[in-house]
Chain A
Amino acid sequence: GQSLEQPSEVTAVEGAIVQINCTYQTSGFYGLSWYQQHDGGAPTFLSYNALDGLEETGRFSSFLSRSDSYGYLLLQELQMKDSASYFCAVRSSGGSYIPTFGRGTSLIVHP
């Protein structure tokens, strides 16, 4: 089977940098993705990593280390609107390439 671990909650102040970690266990790893979900809203796709290294998209970056079965989402210059839940999801050949989602990290940004 597949399993993912991410912190349940992270808090930070506006303008700061925050890192949300995700560790996974799976067979036939294919890629790690990240989604953002505001309260009452739908998840929206942020990023995808299939290879080791850092992918940058504006204020958000995502990192993957396949040897460590570990990834993280890095949010810079935090804004109040970044308060949301963030989910990592892993795709593997063992799961028919359908992503399995983690339980989510609630990010609370304080002024």
Chain B
Amino acid sequence: NAGVTQTPKFRVLKTGQSMTLLCAQDMNHEYMYWYRQDPGMGLRLIHYSVGEGTTAKGEVPDGYNVSRLKKQNFLLGLESAAPSQTSVYFCASSLQGADGYTFGSGTRLTVV
């Protein structure tokens, strides 16, 4: 089982560029999430989805958009990258109502 796979693993963007982070899970999980992790800040929820075709805002959604066209995929988009979006991004998934999440290995994004 691959679990949760994130691509790319590393990326450097220039301010104003756009990009899409891809998250794929093969566990048939209904729920998927995007978090960002910054030093000393823990994990902060950006957006989440409770099923195919649905998305919702988390704690820090500004500057990001998401789509869940297929149950197994959850895309995170940055339309116009800013240095403040330099972070490590983690995708996670879970069964509905499950106690624990399965996380991907993360994407290290640097915006210069």
Q: Please name the residue on chain B nearest to A1 by beta carbon.
A: B59
Interface band, chain A:
20 to 34
Q: Please name the residue on chain B nearest to A96 by beta carbon.
A: B56
| CB proximity to B under 8 Å, residues A79-111 | 87, 89, 96-104
Min CB–CB distance A39 → chain B (angstroms): 11
**How many residue-residue contacts, CB under 8 A, span A and B?**
45
Do residues A104 and B42 form an inter-chain contact, with CB atoms below 8 A? yes
Q: Which of A10-18, A42-50, A63-71 contacts B (4 or more CB under 8 A)?
A: A42-50
Kindly list chain A residues whose C-beta atoms are within 8 Å of the C-beta of B103.
Answer: 42-44
**Distance A96 CA – B57 CA, assembled complex (angstroms):** 11
**Distance A41 CA – B104 CA, assembled complex (angstroms):** 9
Do residues A31 and B97 form an inter-chain contact, with CB atoms below 8 A? no
Do residues A98 and B99 form an inter-chain contact, with CB atoms below 8 A? no
Min CB–CB distance A59 → chain B (angstroms): 18
Kindly list chain B residues whose C-beta atoms are within 8 Å of the C-beta of A104.
Answer: 42
B82 at the interface (CB under 8 A from A): no
**Distance A104 CA – B35 CA, assembled complex (angstroms):** 15
Kindly list chain A residues whose C-beta atoms are within 8 Å of the C-beta of B99.
Answer: 31, 33, 45, 48, 50
Kindly list chain A residues whose C-beta atoms are within 8 Å of the C-beta of B58.
Answer: 98
Kindly list chain B residues whose C-beta atoms are within 8 Å of the C-beta of A89.
Answer: 43
Interface contacts beyond A102-B42, A103-B40: sample of 13 additional A-B pairs, CB < 8 Å, sorted by A: A33-B99, A35-B101, A41-B105, A42-B90, A42-B103, A42-B104, A42-B106, A43-B92, A45-B102, A96-B56, A98-B33, A98-B45, A101-B43
What would be 29 A-B contacts, judged by CB atoms less than 8 Å apart?
A: A8-B40, A33-B99, A33-B100, A35-B101, A41-B105, A42-B90, A42-B103, A42-B104, A42-B105, A43-B90, A43-B92, A43-B101, A43-B103, A44-B103, A45-B102, A87-B43, A98-B33, A98-B45, A98-B48, A99-B101, A101-B35, A101-B42, A101-B43, A101-B44, A102-B42, A103-B40, A103-B41, A103-B42, A104-B42
